[in-house]
Amino acid sequence: MGKETILKKLIMIELVILAGIASIFFSEKKGDSLWETSTVTEEGEKDFIKWVDFQVSSSALGKAYEYDRDTYGEELHLNWIELLAYTATKTGGDFSNDRQVNTYLEEAVEKLQAGETMEAITEDMKYYTYYLEAYTAVLGGMVGEYEIEVPDGTTEGGESAQEEGKTWEKRYGLKAFSPIAKGFPYSDYDDFGVSRSYGYKRQHLGHDMMGQTGTPIIAVESGYVEALGWNQYGGWRIGIRSFDKKRYYYYAHLRQGFPYALGLQEGSKVQAGDVIGYMGHTGYSTKEDANNIDQTHLHFGIQLIFDESQKEGNSEIWIDCYQIIKFLYRNQSKCARNDETKEWYRIYQMRD
């Protein structure tokens, strides 16, 4: 091989390296979010969102949701995700200043009520499409039409909650639930990203909710059970995938001996509000069914999936769901105990 041939190969290698560096450098980035949406390039390669730094406050979630709920059925039905995406574009995704956030939410509502369209008012907002896609992935299954059982004021042979008369009612609004059943106490704080050391040093990519062993754990959103069983880090755990496949809900450290609702298995379909398992402190052990977690709690996590390549591995996207949990506290599933099996079940069924 001549010197000229070697030189040409070295130049080609250097050009490839420089091209790679340039592609990283010129990727538009803000904070921890990569501003790439799900499109197909001219070369046929699929681009999709690589990271989401979800900072929407519970108060902003609540206010945008109420705009959406209260205008349902009207000529102008406000979309809560669009309002939040508009606000995020104005604030750079920062929702820490309540006054500023409220100003932008109200600004968007006023423009829409004046006859402008969301497409028109966001036409020159460079990152609106990113926030809309990202926030739709986070919140897309939480609000909509559904049917739910409600008490009709009569009882059937008794006065206990499970014996009262019920009727079905069509509704529009929040159809996602808190992961803790109604009436069961818990404590929590924003612990996303703190250090964990069991097995290897890593970040805590979820939210811990401390409570009592046996507390009923609730399906936040309707979907199907994608994972169920033992994991040395999460102990007994459940993974539920939303029907649109954008969200993966992870519930870990479930109760020793009887972690799951009766009949639950991989592939099972669940409705939002169903009892799916029970709080415990299993995990941190290669020995199955071991209680090696010091404090009883639910580890709850939300993973976003824009492409199946992100499901497992280094490209996983887990978001801070503390503010979402605070928001979902307004919708808790009421449950009753079966004295024979000593298990819990939801009182009011739902059709999603």
Interval 232-256: pLDDT, tens:
999 999 999 999 999 999 999 999 9
211, 279 contact by CB (below 8 A): yes
Tokens of 313: 């591995």
- pLDDT surpasses 90 at 224: yes
Report the length, in residues, of the chain. Answer: 352
* Furthest-apart CA atoms within the chain: distance in Å: 97
Phi-psi group of 234: left, alpha or beta (phi > 0 → left; psi -120 to 50 → alpha; rest → beta): alpha
Mean pLDDT, residues 88-106 taken together: 98
Tokens of 11: 């130049």
Note the pTM of the prediction, 2 decimals.
0.84
Hey, what's the torsion of the CAs at 185, 149, 81, 66, to 10 degrees?
Answer: -80
- pLDDT surpasses 80 at 329: yes
Residue scoring higher pLDDT (140 or 163): 140
Instruction: Domain ranges for the chain, please list them.
Output: 58-139, 150-174, 195-351
- pLDDT surpasses 50 at 274: yes
CATH number of 195-351, picked from 1.10.10.10, 2.70.70.10, 3.40.50.410, 3.90.1300.10: 2.70.70.10
Helix (H) or strand (E) holding 33: strand 33-34
How far apart, in Å, are the Cα atoms of 350 and each of 13, 97, 172, 225?
60, 36, 12, 18
* Cα–Cα dist 122/301, whole Å: 32
pLDDT band at 195 (very low <50, low <70, confident <90, very high): low
DSSP H helical segments within the chain, as ranges? 3-25, 58-70, 80-91, 98-113, 118-121, 128-139, 322-328
Q: What percent of the chain stands above pLDDT 90?
A: 76
* Cα–Cα dist 164/76, whole Å: 38
- pLDDT surpasses 90 at 100: yes
Tokens of 343: 């298990």
* Cα–Cα dist 274/347, whole Å: 9
Chain centroid offset of residue 343 CA: 27
Q: Which amino acid is at 311?
A: K
SS3 content of the chain, % helix, strand, coil (to 5): 25, 30, 45
Q: Which has the minimum average pLDDT: 35-39, 138-142, 218-222, 308-312?
A: 35-39
Q: Which amino acid is at 243?
A: F
Mean pLDDT, residues 133-160 taken together: 82
176, 141 contact by CB (below 8 A): yes
327, 62 contact by CB (below 8 A): yes
At residue 217, what are phi and psi to the nearest 5 degrees?
A: -100, 135
* Cα–Cα dist 222/350, whole Å: 10
Question: For 10-57, what is each residue's pLDDT tens digit?
Answer: 444 444 344 443 333 333 333 333 334 445 545 556 789 999 999 999
Burial class for 238, CB neighbours closer than 10 Å (0-12, 13-18, 19+): buried
Helix (H) or strand (E) holding 217: strand 216-218
